């Protein structure tokens, strides 16, 4: 097998797959490396906000919700959205993104291969050494490329149960006394429902969060005793995504929203923008810039709760009032972008 590539992308999550798609049919030879046997599966809620609109994810593969329910301090509010939220199984999303780059002459996909070490100009995997002109770290929240660049990581935690019951409402439940500014979520899919908690380690322990989630599942008669929970970290510390000929995308770049945990759209957006930047060094990455504004707005809320944790409940009450206003929804969540 060829050992020298123009571009090596580590990680076939949404960031890596979208980056490879941008480079398809170009003059560059591309190697996409994934440690898992199968592309797609990942512990995730599978929620797609309007920021994913650009990526033409087929409606047939998703469920669409025009309303969402928010719970705070025993009070329930049904909220109508400016843009609907969709849900999609991560296996399906991965396979959809993979399909677009399968069988393309300039792209080699290497699965079941783990990158062990990054060097200047080359990487070492359990299948040997490969050299690169450009390296893209799309290898998630525990990125080896990020470590090589000497960047710190800050994470929140997502814990998820996938239960067989199929329900019809998306729910966000806030319990500031237990999860701080984190929340419990219910995301219905076509064949099951994903239910989990999202929190920062400094605001809740994994043990407490799991206990709380299981109590909720039990009280609401979900079948979970024979289902294994899954957990993963989400890196939200963004320090840039261009480091000479090395790029970071998605979670590896810390692009996940610290406030909502949304990471699929930032992964797709950054993967796309990095691919385009490699093709044209003059490219200004407008979509990423736009997304960073949204991330900044969302994290302003988190900074306030950090500064005054005892006020979290009151900030949430104000937030719940504001988020009912369509203009604020667009300001806080961003809006779809369709232009090519």
Ligand X SMILES: Cc1cc2nc3c(=O)[nH]c(=O)nc-3n(C[C@H](O)[C@H](O)[C@H](O)COP(=O)(O)OP(=O)(O)OC[C@H]3O[C@@H](n4cnc5c(N)ncnc54)[C@H](O)[C@@H]3O)c2cc1C
Interface residues with ligand X (CB under 6 A)? Answer: 10-16, 33-36, 42-47, 114-115, 138-140, 144, 158, 160, 196, 232, 234, 250-251, 256, 261-265, 267
Cβ at position 307, least distance to ligand X in Å: 26
Distance CA 5, CA 286 (A): 27
Count other C-beta atoms under 10 Å from residue 104's C-beta: 16
- Residue that has been written with the tokens 């322990």 in this structure: 205
Residue with Cβ nearer ligand X (253 or 323): 253
**Residue closest to ligand X, measured at CB:** 263
Residue with Cβ nearer ligand X (109 or 323): 109
Q: Which alpha helices (H) appear in the chain, and where do they start and end?
A: 14-23, 90-99, 144-148, 176-179, 206-219, 264-279, 286-307, 312-322, 326-333
Cβ at position 118, least distance to ligand X in Å: 9
Cβ at position 137, least distance to ligand X in Å: 9
What is the enclosing helix (H) or strand (E) of 160? strand 155-163
Residue with Cβ nearer ligand X (313 or 337): 337
Question: Max alpha carbon distance in the chain (Å)?
Answer: 60
Cβ at position 325, least distance to ligand X in Å: 23
Residue with Cβ nearer ligand X (252 or 323): 252
Residue with Cβ nearer ligand X (106 or 233): 233
Task: Report helix, strand or coil for 111.
Answer: coil
**DSSP of 276-311:** HHHH-TT---HHHHHHHHHHHHHHHHHHHHHH-GGG
Cβ at position 278, least distance to ligand X in Å: 17
């Amino acid at each position: 097998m060829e050992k020298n590539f123009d571009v090596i992308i580590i990680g076939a999550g949404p960031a890596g797959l979208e980056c490879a798609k941008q480079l398809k049919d170009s003059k560059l030879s591309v190697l996409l490396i994934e440690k898992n046997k199968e592309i797609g599966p990942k512990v995730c809620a599978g929620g797609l906000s309007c920021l994913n609109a650009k990526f033409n994810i087929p409606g047939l593969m998703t469920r669409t919700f025009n309303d969402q329910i928010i719970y705070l301090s025993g009070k329930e509010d049904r909220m109508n959205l400016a843009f609907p939220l969709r849900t999609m199984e991560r296996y399906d999303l991965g396979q959809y993104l993979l399909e677009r780059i399968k069988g393309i002459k300039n792209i080699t996909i290497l699965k079941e291969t783990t990158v062990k070490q990054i060097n200047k100009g080359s990487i070492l995997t359990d299948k040997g050494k490969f050299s690169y002109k450009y390296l893209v770290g799309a290898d998630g929240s525990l990125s080896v490329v990020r470590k090589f660049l000497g960047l710190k990581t800050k994470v929140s935690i997502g814990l998820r149960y996938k239960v067989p019951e199929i329900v019809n409402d998306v729910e966000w439940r806030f319990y500031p006394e237990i999860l701080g500014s984190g929340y419990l979520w219910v995301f219905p899919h076509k064949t099951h429902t994903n239910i989990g908690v999202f929190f920062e380690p400094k605001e809740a322990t994994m043990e407490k969060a799991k206990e709380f989630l299981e109590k909720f599942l039990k009280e609401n008669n979900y079948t979970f005793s024979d289902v294994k929970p899954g957990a993963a970290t989400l890196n939200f510390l963004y320090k840039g995504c261009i480091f000479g000929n090395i790029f970071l995308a998605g979670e590896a770049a810390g692009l996940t929203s610290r406030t909502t945990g949304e990471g699929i759209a930032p992964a797709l957006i950054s993967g796309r923008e990095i691919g385009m930047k490699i093709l044209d060094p003059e490219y200004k990455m407008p979509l990423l810039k736009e997304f960073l504004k949204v991330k900044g707005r969302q994290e302003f809320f988190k900074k306030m709760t950090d500064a005054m944790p005892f006020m979290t409940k009151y900030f949430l009450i104000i937030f719940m009032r504001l988020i009912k206003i369509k203009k604020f929804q667009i300001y806080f969540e961003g809006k779809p972008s369709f232009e090519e």
